[in-house]
Structure 1
């Protein structure tokens, strides 16, 4: 009886062990944290990021964003937009962004200022919708000016380059001269960043009729800052077809990608386009041919000059002949002891760093503070090093921006007034 019970217990345990092994084999492996995060958008019903490295842009003049949430969400889903700029959002500071539901997107706003329940004219305001996975940085360009309302963001998507995105709305009743001045100032500031630039908005300039006020001056500004206008079809149909909603960019070969959608939102038709701005590799600097003077053996060089044959120098009476004889001996010694070599620079040339005493002083202060912090490892020394490092970064960014702006102005002046022109 005991033997039978023991055998029955053994068989039961073996069956349970086999079942456990089977269950372990068929159980799927646990996912890592990054894999789980990548699955969250699909599980929540949000359209995942496209596999390509394009940015899909769009613009619409909504004429009040709040009552058109369904239309905007449908546009985002159908066109798979990454970034949507909205003109005339009609939002006020007392309207919370939490009531503006755009699944999978983040809204950035620049509302028309004014106290709540005031009698100020309604309308205006701009907004930018971006995917939640994008990193955003608001730029200190433009704002809620009565002549031009604008919002500028630095947007970085996974596996893509950072792109500067601007949303601009110019009210039709505002001052044309003031609006042109602000638009030019903002476009130049955005262009000076040296990054891919995309500007979308309702500028209220009749681009199909050069006789309308401000149209020619606006086209001149676009040409001066080296931007392209991609939209060619009317975007405002009633009462007269005209082109008001524009796409400006400094990226070439994008003309064919801009489209005007036939289904209007409010009284404007949406415009969309795709820009291939994948992550750009740093170009390799061009090789440079130079002499390695640091490796020069100056003792051997002096000995080479002492043992050289100077008879030709002493026998020549003419000054030019003496100079030629001296340079012949000198060049032969230099070529022998310090020949030319071709090297590749590690970093591209940065002309804005030349002859800048403020940057030189800031570099010395940064290096001194870093050396002090590495020796003491104190909190105060670390704070001093961080302050000096951040100050140097600010000086470098300002010098680069000023250099690019001056270079742009010089190029435009040379194109307008070529050499030899009367």
Structure 2
């Protein structure tokens, strides 16, 4: 498990360089102090993808703040109950018996007055709580702003203040080992101090601890180290889509026209299952599928940037080992080239996004997701219950969304049965193939498909070939007075609105249902709007008053 630590002194202004280092060198864990972040800056702005970000931002004043980012393929869990120190973050990584690692990041502001003693008491209490935790492997990393300590001898110097002496006593009493042996911040006169510390109880837990090659403009030195523990990787789900660029459209259309759809069953669910199975079998024959590559880096970081950053890292390591000035000159040259290349690549990407906005708006909105929060937060809270377990999160979302729905029994639906005569009933409505064809051709192929996985582009391109068989299903649905059960399924996504992402009441609900209930609604309202309005007026919006929502119905 490789780790990267840095006091960034404003992460917001250094995100581009930080992303280049993190994604190029593929660190497992990122630890940052003095992040200078606030609630207006989303996690995706710092690291667009591939990492779960845990933050503890300073509130009220500028500066401070800490964060820990863990790769998504590593299981992790935040321990908020252990974060007793104001600017601290505690995360358990690789939760396995005997192999769990409790990582803590701390920022102690440079306070040396009487308030500093109170701060030191809180820091001592924090260290005690970490030490007493049941997890065996524990590491504390951070900027402690205690320069007058001789860490070679693990004791304070003659000119040390009370705070340095107090911290040395705490470290010795807790049997802590401080592993950093090089200056992490230099003064104007060229002298350096060890302000950033790596503290642990077992000195064998950290391996290959060294000075990082690039501080990305910070006045502190980066620290890299590895933890020699075999980690269990969480497999990321693979997403498979149709490759329409290699589709045999003519062969597909001929196969759809000549196929016998077997739509004689009276059960609407059986009808739909037969139709859906036949369609998928035919489409798979004429349109190949591809696996979508999961984007685990910023979109402008390509192989050219990754290669030059790795070369810079190798030159730095050789210089630190040998002290050869040639490696130093090579490192400086590569550092200059990498900064220029990163800046140019990002600018080129932004220009491409701008120029392709009209022809490919999806690319713009994909980039927009980087700049704005849209993901489900790692931890959520509802009714004083906080969880980061996916199944429990889904349960909390379900309880909240259900709580803001109106009770259907409060509606007076007697008016529907009053108008339900022989000439104005569902059984008297019949769709024609032309009605279905018009709806299919009006589809937006850029919209996402629902749980059935049938793309809108496929339905639009094969509108004529599918309209006749779909007409049979739609008319059967009307005559039986029921819709297929599969049409009631939808992908429900919480959409963050404002406030903290941890609170469910700051989210609204967005449905992505299958195409076919939308067709049914669109086709019926087009031709029979006066009748169907009586059925859908009360059922379209079932949310509580003053609670904002989206719906695709």
Which TM-score band applies after superposition, normalised by the shorter structure?
Answer: 0.3 to 0.5
What TM-score do you get using the length of structure 2 for normalisation? 0.37
